[in-house]
Amino acid sequence: MGARMLAWLRNPLSVAIVAIILLLVAGELLSPGFVSQRQIITLLKVAALLGVVAAGQNLVILGGREGIDLSVGGIISFTAFLAGNVMQQQDALLMQGVVLVLAAAFAIGLVTGLGITVLRIPPLVMTLGMLGVVQGGLVLLTRGVPSGRAAPTLSRMVSEPLMLGLPGILFIWILIGAALTLVLRRTTFGFNVYAIGTNEAAAALAGVPVRRTRALLYALSGFFAGAAGILLLGYTEYVFVGAGDQYMLPSVIAVVIGGTSLAGGSGGYVGTMAGAIVLVLLQSILTTLNIPPFGRQIVFGVTLLGLMLLYGRQRRLRG
């Protein structure tokens, strides 16, 4: 019983869930009324945005070989801008915008993936370089001035209640979560992802198409960043040039808090969803507290380090 309890406590997903409950209690104690339906729904909307970005991040991290995608922030800004300019506040252009933007984001991710697999550039460097290119391209297109607006249906989807009082973005997130979990646990592609993340050489010998799988992971990361860009546009109606930057490193952290190992090969998306909620809850509690921005920042950083202490630790060199 004791051992089981301990194992349960060691499981990152359960730690994240406990953290969510503790944060909710803390929030309610610190500012009564924190746990209201409206507040929770607002929080989940923000968490869904982060969660969609983290879906792609989760995939490239699972694929191992120091997988990470630092270009997601740039892709979000870029695609939000693109979507707004295609849609121009017209519902008739909504589908066109969505398809075009997702294709563009997938293509950007694919280029990154090919750089990493064919040219064998380390992911950190390749995605960092891609970030520079995408940001530069965005400045060229926008000239630093925000433009474009979301189609009204998109804004309604994201912000207003769709069913059971919940906004559409939550259903989209849950759908993505279910689909991704299914793909990772039940398809050949999913097995391949864990295989190359755990032991690439063994996977290659077992006939897994290592390069194709990994390139596809980065393309999918671009795709999810693009989806997040569209949702962000819907959430804020129009976006400023650097709007996506704030999602880059938090997406990595959501994945880590959710129990996916940065070494690759172990973890899953359900944990990441919980991780995204933990991060957003934490930020929101710090915002409701009456402390200046710098204090919030310090507490946030220290809490992240504290979370690392719980389960972000690497194995010992000894033994």
Question: Which residues are at the interface with other proteins (CB under 8 A)?
Answer: 66, 68, 70, 115, 119-122, 124-126, 128-140, 143-144, 249, 252-253, 256, 262, 292-298, 300-302, 304-305, 308-309, 312-318
* C-beta closer to other proteins: residue 72 or 169: 72
Closer by beta carbon to other proteins, 41 or else 262: 262
> If we measure between CA atoms, which residue out of 221, 220, 229 comes closest to residue 76?
229
Q: Are 270 and 254 in contact (CB under 8 A)?
A: no
Minimum CB separation of residue 269 from other proteins in Å reads 18
Region of 148 on the Ramachandran plot (φ > 0 left; ψ -120 to 50 alpha; else beta): left
Tell me the closest approach of the beta carbon of residue 103 to other proteins, in angstroms: 20
Nearest to 273 by CA among 44, 39, 79, 91: 44
- Quick one: which of 154, 115, 146 has its CA closest to 133? 115
Least Cβ distance, residue 261 to other proteins (angstroms): 9
3 or 294: whose CB is closer to other proteins? 294
Question: How many CA atoms lie less than 13 Å away from 245 in the CB half-sphere?
Answer: 7
Q: What's the min distance (Å) between Cβ of 134 and other proteins?
A: 8
The dihedral formed by the CA atoms of 114, 117, 121 and 122, expressed in degrees to the nearest 10: 120
Kindly state the smallest distance separating residue 168's Cβ from other proteins, in Å.
Answer: 32
Q: How far is the CB of 108 from other proteins (least distance, A)?
A: 12
**Residue 148 or 234: which CB sits closer to other proteins?**
148
Residue 166 sits at φ, ψ, to 5 deg, of -100, 140
Matching residue, tokens 């997130």: 173
In terms of Cα–Cα distance, which of 258, 254, 292 is closest to 276? 254
If the CB atoms of residues 119 and 164 are measured against other proteins, the closer one turns out to be 119
Residue with tokens 């200046």: 292
CB-nearer residue toward other proteins: 144 or 161: 144
